[in-house]
Structure 1
Amino acid sequence: MFMNRIDSLVELLQKLNSGDISPELRQEALTMVQNVDPLELSLAEQKLIENGTKPEDLRHLCDIHMEVLKDELDRLKLGLTPDHVLTTLIDEHEEINKRLHILEGINNEIQKLESYDENNDIFAKLHSTAVEIIGAEPHHKREEDVLFPELEKRGVTGPTRVMRMEHDMLRAKKHEIKKLAEEVQNMNFTEFKTQLDEAAKFLIFNLRDHIYKENHILYPSSVQTLKEENLWTEMKEACDKIGYCSFTPGK
């Protein structure tokens, strides 16, 4: 029965990925995902990858199921201790999202300017915000070196492959924004604005999307999958050795 549900979900995801989403298909998707838990969704995505779907094609595959997950994160946190590995990761996501909001405002302000002015502190704010967003690296390292391997040991490999790929993509875009902030005085300002607008909008959209999927799919799947006694305690010790971000609450 369990695998039949996975197969049905795989078929639904393939239909959604076709790009032609009718009202009937949308309703079918909503009805199905109301009865699908995060682990099943992860396994369905994994099966699609094994069948030849490229991981990058899954990044925006199933926005529909997000509609029924809006309150799931609060319920997940209620079941975790304040110092749990996942509690810290979720709290860091909130801080990263705050900085993405700041970056969005900075970009909007810069797009209204006609020329570079060294006395305008908006360019210093752009650089410092890019540095803070890059400063999330310990967050990603704890996921990649502690959380993901434990899932992969237990056969959950598809979602972690997608998340690793997105980390690499997002990492490059963060550094691109920082470099633009450092080179603005040497660039054609129109070209600078164009490059910044493209990079900032790409990072903001894709990092928000990435965070949402981790919060609502990967982390709940982790709770369901990693049930061995003392495992989370050992993982917390490994995370402590890696370290935390400058903005990590309570650290």
Structure 2
Amino acid sequence: MRRKKMSERKKMSEHINNQTKRKEDLKRLLRQLHEGQTVDQVKGEFAALLEDVGAMDIASIEQELVEEGMPVGEIKRLCDVHVAVFRESLETQEKPDTVPGHPVYTFLAENGAAGRVLDTLEEAIGASEWEQAGERLRELRQYELHYVRKENILFPFLEKHNFSGPTAVMWAIHDDVRAGWKELDELLAGDPDKESVAEVFDPLATAIREMFYKEENILYPTALEKLSGEEWWQIRHTWIPARSRHRRSIVS
């Protein structure tokens, strides 16, 4: 019995050491990307490390990079590259499973609704229907409430669990999207040419869609693992008054 327990402890210790080494190797490769290497240059080594890497691992790696001195702006700059590197591994994990009334269920529903509005905005822009595009953009900007609730309600709970780095990166991307909405709104109010609109809309649409992916594959799975049922109850009952102070949600 004693030998069995010692063997189990040894296996556990080896597993922890292997996990730690893999995380350090992944951080090293991410630093190489930030120093200018391409995904193709490090792809082979990444492939050997990505087995069973999940949302919590990715969030933890980004958090540690921030704690070790990498600026949030630098992580934001290559955030989409990080996701591209980990995408294959993320696709294999289970998607968040919640019930109506749970905050994550509502967040996911808002993403679905915003995605549909974004598609109609894209169609209007493709047809150079500027008035219709302006209407769709105003509808899409109701999605602002989604970002506000993430920033002011969900993020503070996550930060209590040492999850401040990834939330800071997401908040910075929210601000980029807000700036893009404003710029596109001003452009559509005039008589723009299609090329000028595309220069603003294309990166904006990409940022919004990539945020959908980051939320659904990294943020929410991590939040569901980190936060307790009591904390989710508090989140749910905190955002009800917050909602009343803003325009109606696009899923209402």
- The alpha-carbon distance between structure 1 residues 196 and 22, as it changes in their structure 2 partners (threshold 3 A), is closer
Give the TM-score normalised by the residue count of structure 1. Answer: 0.82
Q: Specify which of 89, 99, 122 is matched with residue 68 of structure 1.
A: 89
Distance in 2, matches of 1:30 and 1:90, equals: 30
Deviations along 1:36-69, one digit per CA (max 9) or x if unpaired, are 2212211211222332242322322320211232
Q: CA deviation at 1:125?
A: 1.0
Deviations along 1:123-159, one digit per CA (max 9) or x if unpaired, are 2211111101111111111100111011111211111
1:224 match: 225
Instruction: Describe how 1:141-220 pairs up with structure 2 within 5 A.
Output: 141-184=148-191, 189-190=192-193, 193-220=194-221
2:130 match: 123
Contact 1:6-1:41 within 8 A present in 2 as well: no
Contact 2:96-2:220 within 8 A present in 1 as well: no
Cα root mean square deviation, aligned: 2.0
**1:35 and 2:48 are equivalent in the alignment:** no
1:241 match: 241
Amino acid in structure 1 at the alignment position of 2:170 = M
1:105 match: 123
Distance in 2, matches of 1:245 and 1:221, equals: 28
Looking at secondary structure, tell me which structure has more helix per residue: 2
2:28 match: 11
Contact 1:103-1:200 within 8 A present in 2 as well: no
Distance in 1, matches of 2:45 and 2:100, equals: 37
| Range that drifts further, 145-154 or 91-100 | 91-100
Amino acid in structure 1 at the alignment position of 2:85 = I
**1:58 and 2:58 are equivalent in the alignment:** no
1:20 match: 38
Instruction: Describe how 1:129-140 pairs up with structure 2 within 5 A.
Output: 129-140=136-147
- The alpha-carbon distance between structure 1 residues 196 and 167, as it changes in their structure 2 partners (threshold 3 A), is same
Contact 1:177-1:199 within 8 A present in 2 as well: yes
Aligned residues: percent identity? Answer: 25
Contact 1:46-1:156 within 8 A present in 2 as well: yes
- The alpha-carbon distance between structure 1 residues 164 and 88, as it changes in their structure 2 partners (threshold 3 A), is same
Contact 2:103-2:236 within 8 A present in 1 as well: yes
Gaps of 5+ in 2: 1-15
- The alpha-carbon distance between structure 1 residues 21 and 141, as it changes in their structure 2 partners (threshold 3 A), is closer
Q: CA deviation at 1:165?
A: 0.3
Q: CA deviation at 1:71?
A: 5.3
Amino acid in structure 2 at the alignment position of 1:99 = V
Gaps of 5+ in 1: 111-121
Q: CA deviation at 1:206?
A: 1.2
Q: Specify which of 105, 108, 112 is matched with residue 87 of structure 1.
A: 105
Local SS of the residue matching 1:135: helix
Contact 1:139-1:245 within 8 A present in 2 as well: no
